[in-house]
Amino acid sequence: MNINPEFIIAAFKSALSYIHVTLLLTLAVVAIGLVFGIFVAALRTYRIPVVSHAADAFVVAFKAIPINLILVVASILFVTHFASIAKFLHLTVTVRDVSRVYVGIFALSLPAIAHMSEYIRGSLLSVEKGQYEAGYTVGLTFFQTFRRIVFPQMMLVFVPSLTGIVIALMKATSLVILIGVVDVLNGALKYANLYFSYFEAYLAAALVYWGLSAGIEFLGKALEKKIGKYRSEAA
């Protein structure tokens, strides 16, 4: 097999030109997954009447449904119902005025919330019930106890696994081509059909993903080190 170094460079540059799309999708999905994941995990952990069952159903559903299916369904619903929703809200924008990137963020956030909540729930369950009782005995409310005592301890468990979650979500963003959004992978493949140099394109995309993953790993290790320092000081 003949490998064309020039096309690897060209595909690499093309992939880099779309790196902002991958980063936007990743950061937005991680942020939404964390915020709503904490909420869903709290509902399921503390068994809030009625809504905890809805949270259970949400997690089971979006852990089971493939991400590519969620993306396609979200795109279809977006195209078919956007006009009626915009009319109801008295908006003058059309479906053409809204970037499909937002559809991708919405669709990817659903499974992200489900998976993130499971990790957070495991971290919450790692904190002994005696920690809550200790907070109550010194006059703290439930929310004060959670914020000052429980949350710092659950983060000691959750943060080490956060790096893997972020990398997994970053790789999942490559599926957005299904709804017409071009990211790093599909940017590298942009000219592969013209020159039939698929290997070089995939290699270039792999190099970009490797660089992004290395950066995430570095930040994750730094955060773990900071959390570890907190653990040592607490001990």
Closest CA to 110 of 157, 76, 64: 64
Domain boundaries, the chain: 1-18+184-235, 20-181
As a whole number of angstroms, the distance between CA 132 and CA 130 comes to: 5
Enclosing H/E stretch for 127: none
Looking at residue 61, its pLDDT comes to 93
User: Given CA atoms 95, 99, 100, 103 in this order, what sign does their dihedral have?
Assistant: negative
Looking at residue 230, its pLDDT comes to 53
User: Cβ neighbours of residue 195 under 8 Å, at least 6 residues apart?
Assistant: 4, 7
Enclosing H/E stretch for 174: none
Q: Which backbone phi and psi does 122 adopt, to 5 degrees?
A: -60, -35
User: Cβ neighbours of residue 39 under 8 Å, at least 6 residues apart?
Assistant: none
- Side-chain-side CA neighbours of 27 within 13 Å: the count stands at 7
Per-residue pLDDT of the chain (235 residues), as tens digits, is 677 788 888 889 999 999 999 999 999 999 999 999 989 988 888 888 888 999 999 999 999 999 999 999 999 999 898 888 888 888 888 888 888 999 999 999 999 999 999 998 888 888 887 777 788 888 888 788 887 888 778 887 888 788 889 999 999 999 998 898 889 998 888 877 777 788 888 999 999 999 999 999 999 888 878 776 655 554 4
Q: Are 37 and 218 in contact, with CB atoms under 8 Å apart?
A: no
Looking at residue 234, its pLDDT comes to 47
Looking at residue 145, its pLDDT comes to 82
Give the Cβ contact number of residue 72 at 10 Å.
Answer: 15
Looking at residue 50, its pLDDT comes to 84
Q: Are 95 and 127 in contact, with CB atoms under 8 Å apart?
A: no
- Side-chain-side CA neighbours of 9 within 13 Å: the count stands at 3
Q: Does the domain formed by 20-181 have CATH 1.10.3720.10?
A: yes
As a whole number of angstroms, the distance between CA 83 and CA 79 comes to: 8
Token couple for 2: 């003949």
Q: For tokens 């460079």, what's the residue? A: 9
